[in-house]
């Protein structure tokens, strides 16, 4: 809990600071006087005023936002000698650049974070796929489990090397959410000739971009051998004589490709009636052994399933993925661009009703993922920060009043018509924008609580 809170506060404070620094730095570059630079809201924890620039730097108790206050005649009277440094007196291009600099700073941070991970290297599961779910897209394409993914690319585009399973999942996510067919080059588990297949996503329902989407695709997790792990005392596995480290080869004469297939077979055994006794062929210390095992029937949520009381699945084979300076930067720029487009695409689908509002996440979910990623190591935490930074940047560029994108929308109107939006209309737009933002936050928090309580 402490790690989750610390990781969440660090993440939010950093992302807010970078966003506000973008506005601050561009304002200074455009000759605008900055009166106050604040990270956080609420009671003041620390403050310092620069004797040279007169800017007050401030840290508030609640790090859930920040602001940059600039000299502006619309907010307070400005001395005649200082009018040249007022925001409202600057040309349109300067005002637009100052407003856009915050979101752009978040996107640049994401690029730097992705590049840093590429340069440091990250250990990820090899691109070995598990047995696909029955009737899934992968199963229809002929995958049986254990294949090594070599290259991937959208149909009619050049194939690219796949570095890891996470790399392949990113291809799958983009293809599914974009409704594009994916061509995959792979090698079978037996190491035979290289083959190709096309995964068709044209009919995939992506209303919920979550684990169910990958279940429909067929690739939920990397390949893991059907090896027995820790067992529950008194459960079916221990009572039948299973031992930690046993490799399951067959169940009732059906060859077992991997842990995913074995787990699904056990669960389905209790779906309609009490499970019958199964004959398991094992490999133990180089010898073949057959044991009779009867799974127990238990209720899981709204359905009945079978269980044997054992962890199933050995650790996946891992690979170290890293790039040189130029390669890492190029890969980071590509990832930042693609994630930005995908984020914008998902937001568009939510607005048009093509995707469920349940995909919106709020502070509780963000805090949860912050803690999980921090527990997994520096590289995963940096990747999490990059993703949230992109989300913050893209969100702020949306043409919604109150957000930076709303102000850019006003400047677009001013550029076309030659006159600024009137104060009366600005007030109306701000109220609408605030209501929309509040509604979105309420939906996101409701989704968080629903996930937490489900």
Is 444 in the same domain as 332? yes
One domain for residues 284 and 378: no
- 224's CB contacts (< 8 A; 6+ apart) are 130, 258, 259, 260, 313, 314, 315, 316
Range of the domain at 273: 228-300
The CATH number of the domain holding residue 254 is 2.30.42.10
In-domain check, residue 309: no
Domain boundary among 262, 284, 300: 300
245: pLDDT strictly greater than 70: yes
Residues 380-395: tens digit of each pLDDT: 999 999 999 999 999 9
Residue 37: C-alpha distances to residues 42, 69, 86, 188, 252 (Å): 14, 7, 16, 58, 69
| Same-domain check for residues 178 and 209 | yes
Whether residues 102 and 183 fall in one domain: no
Do 354 and 448 reside in the same domain of the chain? yes
329 with 450, same domain: the answer is: yes
**DSSP label at residue 196:** E
In a domain, 109, yes or no: yes
With contact defined as beta carbons under 8 Å apart, do 184 and 196 qualify? yes
pLDDT at 191: 72
Q: What is the pLDDT of residues 65-123, one digit of tens each?
A: 889 999 999 888 889 888 999 999 999 999 999 999 999 999 999 999 999 999 999 88
DSSP per-residue codes, 67-128 = EEEE--TTTS---GGGGGG-GGGS-HHHHHHHHHHHHHHHHHHHHHHHHHHHHH-EEEE-SB
Q: Helices (DSSP H) in 199-308: which residue ranges? A: 211-217, 236-239, 259-269
Categorize the per-residue pLDDT at 268 as very low, low, confident or very high, splitting at 50, 70 and 90.
confident
Q: Do 259 and 334 reside in the same domain of the chain?
A: no
Q: Look at residue 207 in the predicted model and tell me its pLDDT.
A: 60
Average pLDDT, the chain: 89
| Tokens read off for 267 | 């669960």
Residue 203 shares a structural domain with residue 279: no
Catalytic residues: 20
How far apart, in whole angstroms, are the C-alpha atoms of residue 231 and residue 31? 68
Confidence of residue 412 (pLDDT cuts 50, 70, 90): very high
Q: How many domains does the chain have?
A: 3
Last residue of a domain, one of 158, 188, 222: 222
For residue 453, is it within any domain? yes
Asked if 148 and 115 sit in the same domain, the reply is no
**Whether the Cβ atoms of residue 103 and residue 20 lie closer than 8 Å to each other:** no
Which residues in 128-214 belong to E strands, given as ranges? 148-154, 160-161, 182-187, 194-199
CA atoms of 378 and 437, how far apart (whole Å):
32
Question: For residue 454, what pLDDT is reported?
Answer: 64
pTM: 0.84
One domain, residues 272 and 363: no
**pLDDT at 433 (0 to 100):** 87
The reply to whether 218 and 251 lie within a common domain is no
As a whole number of Å, the end-to-end CA separation of the chain is 19
Give the model confidence (pLDDT) of 279-320 as tens digits.
Answer: 999 999 989 999 999 999 888 777 888 999 999 988 888 999
In a domain, 68, yes or no: no
User: Residues near 153 by Cβ (< 8 Å), separated by ≥ 6?
Assistant: 159, 160, 171, 182, 183
């Amino acid at each position: 809990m402490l790690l989750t809170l610390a990781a969440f506060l660090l993440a939010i404070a950093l992302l807010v600071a970078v966003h506000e620094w973008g506005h601050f730095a561009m304002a200074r570059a455009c000759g605008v006087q900055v009166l106050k630079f604040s990270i956080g809201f609420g009671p003041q924890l620390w403050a310092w005023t620069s004797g040279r620039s007169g800017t007050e730097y401030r840290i508030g108790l609640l790090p859930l936002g920040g602001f940059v206050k600039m000299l502006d005649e619309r907010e307070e009277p400005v001395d005649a000698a200082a009018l040249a440094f007022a925001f409202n007196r600057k040309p349109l291009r300067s005002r637009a650049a100052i407003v856009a600099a915050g979101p752009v700073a978040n996107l640049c941070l994401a690029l730097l974070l992705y590049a840093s991970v590429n340069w440091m290297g990250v250990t990820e599961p090899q691109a070995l796929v598990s047995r696909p779910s029955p009737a899934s897209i992968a199963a229809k394409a002929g995958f049986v489990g254990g294949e090594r993914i070599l290259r991937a690319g959208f149909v009619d585009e050049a194939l690219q090397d796949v570095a890891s399973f996470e790399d392949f999942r990113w291809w799958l996510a983009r293809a599914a959410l974009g409704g594009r067919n994916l061509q995959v080059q792979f090698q079978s588990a037996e190491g035979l000739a290289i083959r190709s297949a096309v995964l068709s996503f044209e009919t995939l329902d992506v209303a919920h971009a979550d684990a169910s989407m990958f279940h429909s695709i067929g690739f939920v997790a990397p390949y893991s051998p059907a090896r027995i792990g820790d067992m529950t005392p008194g459960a079916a596995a221990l009572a039948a004589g299973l031992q930690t480290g046993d490799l399951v080869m067959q169940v009732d004469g059906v060859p077992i490709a991997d842990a995913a297939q074995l787990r699904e077979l056990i669960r389905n055994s209790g779906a309609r009636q009490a499970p019958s006794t199964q004959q398991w062929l094992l490999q133990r210390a180089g010898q073949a052994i057959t044991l009779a095992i009867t799974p127990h029937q238990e209720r899981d949520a709204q359905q009945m399933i079978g269980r044997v009381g054992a962890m199933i699945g050995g650790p996946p084979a891992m690979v170290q993925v890293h790039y040189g300076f130029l390669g890492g930067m190029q890969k980071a720029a590509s990832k930042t661009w693609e994630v930005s487009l995908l984020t914008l695409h998902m937001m568009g689908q939510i607005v048009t009703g093509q995707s469920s509002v349940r995909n919106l996440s709020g502070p509780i979910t963000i805090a949860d993922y912050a803690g999980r990623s921090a527990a997994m190591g520096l590289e995963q935490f940096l990747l999490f920060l990059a993703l949230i930074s992109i989300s913050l940047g893209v969100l702020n560029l949306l043409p919604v009043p109150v957000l930076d994108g709303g102000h850019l929308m006003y400047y677009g109107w001013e550029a076309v018509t030659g006159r600024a939006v009137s104060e009366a209309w600005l007030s109306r737009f701000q109220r609408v924008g605030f209501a929309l933002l509040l509604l979105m936050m309420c939906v996101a928090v409701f989704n968080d609580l629903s996930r937490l309580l489900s």
